[in-house]
Structure 1
Amino acid sequence: MVRTSHARRATLAISVIGAVLAPAAPVFAAGPPPSADLRADVNRDGRVDVAGATDTAGEDTWTAARGAVVLPNIDDDTKRCATTGPGGKPLSDARLAACNDASDTRVNGTADAADLARVRSVPMKDLPASATGTPAVVAGAARTRVFVKRAGGWDRVKGNTRLTAAELRSGVEFGVEVTDVVRDTAVWDGRAVLRLSVTSGGRTTSDDVTLRVAPLLTHHHLQNAQQVMVTKVPGKDPYARRQQAFVQGLAKEAKAAGITKPLVTFDKYQDIWAQDFVEPGYVSMTGPDGRRQVIRVMLRSAQPDRESGRELFEKLRGNGVGVVQVSGVRDSEEWTLNSMGNLETVPPYAHGGRSFPAGRIIMGERKDDGSKPARAMRTLLKAQGFQDPLFLDTSWLHVGHVDEFVQFLPAPGTARGWRIGIADPEAGLKLLRDAQKAGHGSTRMFSVPGSKDVPAPKETIAQALASKWLVADNTMAAQRIRANLDVLKRETGVTDAEIVRVPALFTRGTEEGERGARMPRLKRMGAGDLPDAVDEYGQQKRLPREGERAAGPATVMTSAYVPGAVNGVLLGRDRYLAPKQWGPVIGGKDVFTAAVNAAYTRAGLKVAYIDDWETYHLGMGEVHCGTNTLRDASRAWWKL
């Protein structure tokens, strides 16, 4: 056998063996028979070049910048996947996840099979009729599907498939899909090597090309928001009405920001933390028509007992949308760190000899006690090979999510293209101290009017500053944020001039009772039960979530005291939606709102506000925690 390419890690072989009787055909002249030559879209332009040499260099290797890409075909183009079993009984999580387009043996969806990566053989014009072929998958069969294009459509390559000499003379077109994303490179590194072997007259030649599955990538804020997601809560009780008002306000703000698609609303499980049970991502390649072929991937949080993640399969999975969930999450792994509010993405950058053309993931960990997000999720994210997760210390936060204190903002016209938005507790304390010095110490700390079932907070600016905890908590928070910012600056090269400091205040709670933790599903509270859950300031008392770890004696955990402005949602390149501040009103102006406006205006952003005090803030979350965004994924992820 003559091999015309190198050995591979994983091999999907299409070998042509044996011979069959056939009518007389041209025989080879004095020279050797033509050599097998297999081509794939190595330069990622959407065209397999069989006439020139644009797809030959590097066909046997795969790098971040060059090499053929194949999609994990995990969407459900024809909505064939069941969401319930016999009698309407719920399917297990495993059965929900097991079905997708790549789990059957045929090409789903449109006739052009846009989800399939193309591989072609160079036509072997002088091949005699005695040559035959037998395509076979010799390695990677559990994760790879190959189809051959014929007059009747796409035929799956099986053990008894034969390629004729006529097909080889005209050139064969193959379509390739894989059945999953890379989850652990120790098990599978995402590569498949296709081999075409041609046998004729007792002589065999072969050629290989390497493909790798497209990485599962998370969105960053340089990708425009295309649709907003939120949870609907039905009913007519006070809490439901407040949540419904929030959803209506969100729809209005999304439209004002130029987002034309309607809200995606979750409604089955009433888990209001739409940021936390899913992280929208995507996989993409350049399709056969030269356009980007994208499958959105909803990455379910590593919280198997969180029912709301099931709605990703039940409602969102479909044409162009797939779902990935991890398994093997340990009971000892801290529940709250696995919420997706604890996953954000730094926009693309290059620094210190490293390049992240698709951006880089950040996640929070509790360095004080060593708690980290689930190993299975960390392994999956790192296995993609593009967004190597960077971990920040969130030990000082009750909920422990990075979205509570850091964000990334577009910066058009700058060399980097983005800035860091960071919560600034020192600026928050200064606002209160300046107000007190100006004689406004008796002004109420919060201007929120309250309601029949949620009383307005009573403390004044002077009482807040005299609190047993407030100054100490914010001094500590400022130190922790500064340390995290130093990590981001070191890793990305961001300078102080590229940082937007947004006034904020944190607290462990009042002396009477701490604010409640961000729960997996905030209890729908009616007028009859909410008062028992709040303290004298109208703040929700501590309601531990399932699986939450208690703070050690040396650990102070805080949450937002004033609604956290950085915990908002970027709706457009210049449109930002923040939680209504409800700060002290002096001279007819909310001092926190004015300061937040000034910070974002300097960064080129127009700020709108939405009231989340009773819907999210009292549950230790804000606007960002209760929403999610689907963003544009048309940009080539391999180009910085």
Structure 2
Amino acid sequence: MKSSIQKLTTAIFLSALLAFSLHSCPAAAQEAGIPATSESQSFYESRQVQVVIHGDTNRDGKLDDSDCDGRERWSWQAGAFVMANLDDDDRSGKPDAYDQIVNGSIDEQDLARFRVLFDPALPSGAEITVDASDAPVNIFQNSGNGWKFLTNQTPLVLAASVRIELGIEAKKFAGVDGWNGRIVLRATVRLDGRIVAEDQAEARVAPWLMLPNSAPTRAFYLATGKYDNSAMMAEVKNILPRWGVAFPTPHLAKNWQEMWLQDSLEIGYTEIPGGARMYVVLNGIRGADSFGPTLLGRDIGVITVGKNRGMTGHDAWVDWFGNLEVSHPTREYPFGRIYYGRNTDSGVGLHPDVVRFLEAQILQDPFWVDTSWLAIKHVDEIFNVLPGSDGRGVVIMGQPAAAAAVLGQPLDA
């Protein structure tokens, strides 16, 4: 049994903690005997909170006391982001977030950093846990000798420092499996099984952003094998050096659909403040898209949204990604705006699962364009956006009448 002194100490500690506010950073470093650094002074002045959890709330790429304000509620204006860690830094053949380890120093860079700050006067036996509820994330604690995976019930290792570093990765993007992308992190202090202090921080998984055609070209992909495209490849070999881009090893198409590589995938990216950009391939759902998954590797992830619908007739090509494009960045849409085709005669547009996924990213606000008058019904046959000589985007539009005049015969779109 506990001694009367232990019981009294616990009771006093509980009553003191429960009286404190949980809406500002904890304080009183000098009273607690913590070395008076500028950071600890600002953090421990008022002794109002016994535990705090926060990420990069102000999005300046670093963690400090200024991130404490506003940490409880995430918005597009402020609040921490977490990256969907879907690349394969250790070349295991699966996304890094699908395991419960940090796959080396490169994978470490894909973790969003959070801090847990606690009262150094916590008595022996107190435990702190971090809970993300049912959000699809992995949480790790930096032990100084590596990263320890945490479950919702795993107590943090309370070392001499009152600042604990966490690394968090998401397993998917918003819009996948109905997830809205929000992450509520709760730090809880328990003593003798009782909750004596809590704090909360909200975060969101960083969005998947589709790259426009006006983005700088870093890599070039093409396919061969089902049609004779040797003349095109010879021309491409002459053009790519002007962009400083290497000619790739052509993908050997397994079926005729893969020859149309533009329809097989879209390339986007995700990033968090202070972190490196991760490119993420949105792979095709035609049932004939084997190239995209081969790109999985360091700093390149691959996702698939939706399943092949087996469309036929005039809508047979509706889910090919030539029917999905994004504009050049504009003042209203600094990441560009996504557009896709819809056959207004049949009411069929791009796969609903893909559209919902794109809408869940918020920032590129998709809209549809009537493609009913086209034979293939792909929006990229109506207009596209290319880089202009002045750095701005240039809209290129098809003109069937002008083409007919050049050919000297009428055209059936």
Compute the TM-score of the two structures, normalised by the length of structure 2. 0.81
Partners of 2:141 and 2:114 in 1: CA distance: 10
Residue number in structure 2 paired with 1:62? 74
Shift of residue 361, structure 1, vs aligned partner: 0.6
The higher radius of gyration belongs to 1
Residues 113 and 397 of structure 1, relative CA distance in 2, 3 Å threshold: same
Unmatched 5+ stretches in structure 1: 7-24, 82-98, 433-444, 446-460, 465-469, 471-506, 509-557, 559-640
Unmatched 5+ stretches in structure 2: 1-17, 25-31, 34-45
Shift of residue 279, structure 1, vs aligned partner: 0.7
The partner residue of 1:114 within 94, 109, 114 is: 109
- The 8 Å contact of residues 347 and 360 in structure 1, kept in 2 or not, is answered as yes
Residue number in structure 2 paired with 1:189? 180
Shift of residue 57, structure 1, vs aligned partner: 3.4
- Per-residue CA distance 1:319-338 (angstroms, 9 max, x = gap): 11111112344345833011
The partner residue of 1:339 within 304, 320, 338 is: 320
Q: Percent identity?
A: 27
Partners of 2:249 and 2:368 in 1: CA distance: 30
Aligned AA for 2:218?
Answer: Q
- The 8 Å contact of residues 338 and 364 in structure 2, kept in 1 or not, is answered as yes
The alignment status of 1:348 with 2:335, answered yes or no, reads no
Partners of 2:78 and 2:334 in 1: CA distance: 13
Aligned AA for 2:250?
Answer: T
Aligned length, in residue pairs: 372
Residue number in structure 2 paired with 1:252? 238
Partners of 1:196 and 1:139 in 2: CA distance: 11
Residues 131 and 348 of structure 1, relative CA distance in 2, 3 Å threshold: farther
- The 8 Å contact of residues 364 and 394 in structure 1, kept in 2 or not, is answered as yes
The partner residue of 2:398 within 414, 423, 432 is: 423
The partner residue of 2:92 within 72, 80, 85 is: 80
Partners of 1:71 and 1:218 in 2: CA distance: 16
The partner residue of 1:269 within 237, 240, 254 is: 254
Partners of 2:157 and 2:282 in 1: CA distance: 43
Partners of 1:261 and 1:42 in 2: CA distance: 40
Partners of 1:385 and 1:311 in 2: CA distance: 28
Please give the residue correspondences for 1:284-363 in structure 2 after superposition, counting only pairs within 5 Å: 284-286=271-273, 290=274, 292-303=275-286, 305-306=287-288, 309-313=289-293, 315-332=294-311, 334-350=315-331, 355-363=332-340
Shift of residue 208, structure 1, vs aligned partner: 1.4
Aligned AA for 1:211?
Answer: A
Partners of 2:128 and 2:361 in 1: CA distance: 33
Partners of 2:212 and 2:352 in 1: CA distance: 23
The alignment status of 1:198 with 2:192, answered yes or no, reads no
Residues 173 and 330 of structure 1, relative CA distance in 2, 3 Å threshold: same
Please give the residue correspondences for 1:487-498 in structure 2 after superposition, counting only pairs within 5 Å: none
Residues 342 and 332 of structure 1, relative CA distance in 2, 3 Å threshold: closer
Partners of 1:261 and 1:56 in 2: CA distance: 46
Partners of 2:222 and 2:232 in 1: CA distance: 9
- The 8 Å contact of residues 145 and 178 in structure 1, kept in 2 or not, is answered as yes
The alignment status of 1:145 with 2:145, answered yes or no, reads no
Residues 399 and 267 of structure 1, relative CA distance in 2, 3 Å threshold: same
Residues 251 and 60 of structure 1, relative CA distance in 2, 3 Å threshold: farther
- The 8 Å contact of residues 128 and 200 in structure 1, kept in 2 or not, is answered as no
Partners of 1:261 and 1:46 in 2: CA distance: 33
Residue number in structure 2 paired with 1:566? none
Shift of residue 158, structure 1, vs aligned partner: 2.6
Partners of 1:106 and 1:41 in 2: CA distance: 22
Residues 111 and 76 of structure 1, relative CA distance in 2, 3 Å threshold: closer
Partners of 1:282 and 1:385 in 2: CA distance: 14
Partners of 1:244 and 1:423 in 2: CA distance: 26
CA RMSD after TM alignment: 2.9
If asked which structure has higher relative contact order (CA below 8 Å, sep 6+), I would say 1
Aligned AA for 1:276?
Answer: D
Compute the TM-score of the two structures, normalised by the length of structure 1. 0.54
